[in-house]
Amino acid sequence: MSSVDSRQPGVAQRIAELRQTIDYHNYRYYVLDDPQIADIEYDRLLRELQELETQHPELVTPDSPTQRVGAEPIAAFGEARHGVPMLSLDNIFSEAELEDFDRRVREGLGWEHVDYVAEPKLDGLSVNLRYQDGLLVQAGTRGDGRVGEDITANIRTVRTVPLRLQGDGWPELLEVRGEVVIRRADFQRLNELRLDQGEKPFANPRNAAAGSLRQLDPRITAARPLSFFTFGTGASSEPIDGSHSAVLERLRQWGFLVNDQVKKVVGAEGCETYYRDLLARRDELPFEIDGIVYKVDDLAAREELGFTARAPRWAAAHKLPAVEASTRVASIEPSVGRTGVITPVANLEPVAVGGVTVSRATLHNLDEVRRKDVREGDTVMVRRAGDVIPEITAVVVDKRPAAAEPWEMPASCPVCGSEVQRLEGQAAHRCIGGLYCPAQQVGAVIHFASRKAMDIDGLGDKLIEQLVNKGLVRTVADLFALSHEQVAGQERMGDKSADNLLKAIDRARKTTLPRLIYALGIDQVGEVTANQLAQHFGDLDAVMQADEEALQTVPDIGPVVAKALPISLPSRITAT
């Protein structure tokens, strides 16, 4: 290796250069979400810096980007005293209360209209960062508002926290406050990783963020995808600017991440419009929020309004409907799907969650029921995150009835009585009845008639159920033999709608090969695979005659599909 001397100006200069370059690209990637170089290029720069610092440990500084990997574990958290207290927020639960808040502010100031800054209230952990001469020197949790826990070593690993402030003009002493959160997409990935590694997933992003910050080993924190969004300042050795919006702009220039949903609005009316808009877009936001914070923008006006015992008079948190609620599991029902997969579904006592009434939650499979140990009669926490199906996140074990037994997968199909099997290496249990099973008959026809398949207008789920239950339809082929009387004889079916339906079925005789293959609903064969099969073989006979080996030459068809296809394809068409 080279024998560069750290007293030589070259090394120290190269190290300074690397730090500046890495900090810049770190900022582009994590704060602006707009990277300028490839990951491997970034890694190469970081490795070069690490090597130089290993050779010259006397040149390592706490603000070096190498320090983000996490320091040695500590025995316990110390204390972090805040320069000025971190206050609470008074809550608002309705538009009437919002108007009361605005009236109190207007009367307190003697103003006609007040400008507010409206911000999403992120559901994470509030943190105070102390900068001395532009360098991060301490980070503390909120604690009791005056003193929190010293989590400096953990906060250093958070990529959106500047270790050294950018630009210039910052006060000699500056406290920056904000919320540490995990974005929805990062949370999803984190939990998948934990499941893969046999660890318990986190119930929600907030718990994951809290658990990650309260680690005595900063290297664990470093591996968690935490983000810091700033919402203001604490102590400051000199004033920064005259309004909150201007202060946020300065913080942005100094390298902090400011939520791009933050907006200046006028009066209670402006706050209401902002609230309704954000509530409507709540599920699309990249992070979870539990409210909106309104803050008087003018800092001199804030001084005038002052504080109550615990909270400022110039700010309030407007709560959104909770995304988590507790309810009781009335029963756990094995539900047989289109392909015979049996999914345990919890029937719940109806409960409002995030503005929607929830009465069912999927439990995915038996492993999931076991892992969560959900039993009939249990009180559970139900959570709606984004627009996904509600999930049971936890069981309130204290409230479990004495007689509650662990749930079992039935040995036979609840619909057709066929055996239930679990295939090697798969999480799912299946009814082996195939198209003998009415649930699968119904499922196969529903799929066949669906928009991306044969797109048969007027053939709805309820009608299909009737036709299958009366024995008029068992396979998709039977649809083409239906008579006018048979169709017109169903509930809510007149002469005219029966005519229209038979015409729609007739039109489905002429279709494209990819659609037909997809419509057959073969296990593992979605639109893309159906397209490839059609292109490769040209007609249905050729697909049906293809053996495992021939199938594997089709792009994207692996050994599993190639094995399953020759068996399931003929049975989908000819089974009775």
Active-site positions read 121
Number of residues that bind ligand D41 (CB under 6 A): 14
Nearer to ligand D41, 248 or 557 (CB): 248
Nearer to ligand D41, 241 or 539 (CB): 241
Residue 122 interacts with ligand D41 (CB under 6 A): yes or no: yes
Name the one range near ligand D41 by CB under 6 A: 117-125, 165-173, 449-457, 503-511. Answer: 117-125
Nearer to ligand D41, 88 or 343 (CB): 88
Paired tokens of 93: 């639960």
Residue of the chain from 21, 88, 166, 497 that contacts ligand D41 (CB under 6 A): 88
Sign, CA torsion 14/15/20/26: positive
Contact 336, 435 (CB under 8 A): no
Residue 287 interacts with ligand D41 (CB under 6 A): yes or no: no
Q: At what angle do helices 438-449 and 461-469 cross, to 10 degrees?
A: 140
Which string of x and - marks every residue 293-312 that binds ligand D41 (by CB under 6 A)?
x-x----------------x
Residue of the chain from 231, 274, 275, 448 that contacts ligand D41 (CB under 6 A): 231
CB of 352 to ligand D41, least distance (A): 23
Nearer to ligand D41, 171 or 566 (CB): 171
Nearer to ligand D41, 315 or 341 (CB): 315
Residue 234 interacts with ligand D41 (CB under 6 A): yes or no: no
Burial 56-89 (b: 16+ CB within 10 A, else e): beeeeeebbbbbbebbeeeeebeebebeebbebb
Positions 154 through 183 that interact with ligand D41 (CB under 6 A): 179
Paired tokens of 550: 């021939």
Nearer to ligand D41, 71 or 311 (CB): 311
Name the one range near ligand D41 by CB under 6 A: 71-79, 114-122, 248-256, 406-414. Answer: 114-122
Contact 353, 384 (CB under 8 A): yes
Residue of the chain from 89, 195, 220, 504 that contacts ligand D41 (CB under 6 A): 89
Residue the block writes with tokens 């400096």:
152
Q: How far apart are CA 55 and CA 43, in angstroms?
A: 18
Instruction: Report strand pairing: 429-431 vs 420-422.
Output: antiparallel
Residue 87 interacts with ligand D41 (CB under 6 A): yes or no: yes
Residue 114 interacts with ligand D41 (CB under 6 A): yes or no: no
Residue of the chain from 232, 267, 354, 438 that contacts ligand D41 (CB under 6 A): 232
Nearer to ligand D41, 45 or 317 (CB): 317
CB of 529 to ligand D41, least distance (A): 45
- Angle among Cα 25, 27, 29 to the nearest 5 degrees reads 70
CB of 121 to ligand D41, least distance (A): 4
Contact 369, 361 (CB under 8 A): no
Name the one range near ligand D41 by CB under 6 A: 85-93, 156-164, 182-190, 557-565. Answer: 85-93
The contacts of residue 357 (CB under 8 Å, 6+ apart) are 350, 351
Name the one range near ligand D41 by CB under 6 A: 83-91, 380-388, 490-498, 516-524. Answer: 83-91
Paired tokens of 63: 């603000």
Which string of x and - marks every residue 312-341 that binds ligand D41 (by CB under 6 A)?
x--x--------------------------
Among candidate residues 569, 535, 574, 575, the one with its CA nearest the CA of residue 554 = 535
Question: How many CB atoms sit inside 10 A of residue 437's CB?
Answer: 21
Contact 256, 116 (CB under 8 A): no
> How would you class 392 by CB atoms within 10 Å of its CB: exposed for 0-12, middle for 13-18, buried for 19 or more?
buried
Residue the block writes with tokens 């299909």:
464
- Where does this chain bind ligand D41 (CB under 6 A)? 87-89, 119, 121-122, 126, 179, 231-232, 293, 295, 312, 315
